[in-house]
Amino acid sequence: MAAENPNNTHYEFNSGLENVIDSLVERVDPGNENLRSQCAVWMDLSTIINKGFTSLGISRAIPSCLHFLLKKNINDLRTLASYTVRDVQYAVFNLNYSIEDLLENCPQAPPGPEPNPILRRVKAVLNHPIGDYAVQPKEATMAAQGITMAHYAEGASYTVGATQNISIRNTSMLRNFGGEVFCDATVEEIIIERGRAVGVKVRNTSAGEGAPLTEIRAKNIVCATSTFNLHNKLLPPDHPSVKDFFDKEKRTITESNGHVFLFVKLKGNASELELPTHNLVSSRSFRCFPFDHIILHTHCSSYSGTLTRMIWMKHSISIMLTLLITDHRLRILASRKCC
């Protein structure tokens, strides 16, 4: 290890896992082959997790008699998902664990910051995906880290033109198949008949709580909100599932972190506003970021439009500010813990 290392204050994440490894090792500790191998294990974990999620999705679409073909990938995902990001980094970079070792067990990382300046720098840089899912490494599941790393493995991309194009195309496709999309509509209750969900009662959000309810019925009802909203607000209080949910001896899940998103309209493109055309992640210190306390994380991306995020996180509270250069209105989406 060279005495002057770590020797850079900025790091590039180019397309391709091997390019990321080469760039990181070259800037942190050139010629350290053990570090290169450790980084390779870390990156390979994202591939395994990505395969696991893909297999999990496929398992929902194929007959159960074929699930054995996907069993290993799904089991590997479940194993890695049970570990925290911090513990996995400790196993890989401090204890030289292989993927095979990790699939057997993962030791718990000791408290406090990483004492080795090289490893502290490496771990911090490789934890940049927390800007996307906003959970501290000591609490985040490795599944979230891995799938986010896999998402950016071959480079980031963004919509051509306004980001609203995504929702426009999705809703157009849905309508072509006979569906409909309702905006500004709050689901107040799930309709249960004979023990089965058959529809929802919806209120116009802008009209306020006094607005009349409208029933929308369908063959299948999919709840895409949190399980806490489902049992606290949408299901009848006397439903057996609600009673089980509020039984502390039966419920095993807890609330997750909350986020606040702020979408702001800006006029101009990246060149006019002199903004970068790549993702940018910054932190005040590699000593405090991103282990015990996350002080500041800024994530700037510029593709066809420009996306800037500022995240302030301390303990279990996180706030994300997102600036979108599009031709949209100001949109504010907010959710809070326990909602």
320 three-state secondary structure: strand
The model's pTM: 0.64
pLDDT of residue 107: 96
Q: Of 88, 117, 152, which residue is a domain's last? A: 152
**Angle 178-179-183 (CA atoms, 0-180°, nearest 5)?**
150
Residue 144, in any domain of the structure: yes
Is residue 5 a part of any domain in this protein? Answer: no
In a domain, 110, yes or no: yes
What's the full length of the chain, in residues?
339
> Is residue 9 one of the residues assigned to a domain?
no
Cβ within 8 Å of residue 278, ≥6 positions away? 156, 301, 302
Which of 14-28, 92-106, 141-155, 284-298 has the least mean pLDDT? 284-298
What are the backbone dihedrals phi and psi of residue 198, each rounded to the nearest 5 degrees, phi first? -120, -5
Residues 120 and 45 in one domain: yes
Q: Same domain for 63 and 131?
A: yes
Q: What is the tens place of the pLDDT at every residue in 169-210?
A: 889 998 998 888 888 889 999 999 988 999 999 999 998 888
Please report whether residue 11 resides in a domain. Answer: no
- pLDDT-derived band at 11, boundaries 50, 70, 90: confident
Q: Is 146 part of any domain?
A: yes
**pLDDT per position as a tens digit, 200-235:** 999 999 988 889 999 999 888 888 888 888 988 899
* pLDDT score recorded for residue 283: 56
**Residue 172 lies in domain:** 164-245
Alpha-carbon span 331 to 260, nearest angstrom: 11
Decide if pLDDT at 259 tops 50: yes
pLDDT tens digits for range 100-144: 999 999 999 999 888 998 898 899 888 878 777 777 888 889 999
Q: Distance of CA 9 to CAs 6, 243, 276, 326, Å?
A: 8, 54, 17, 31
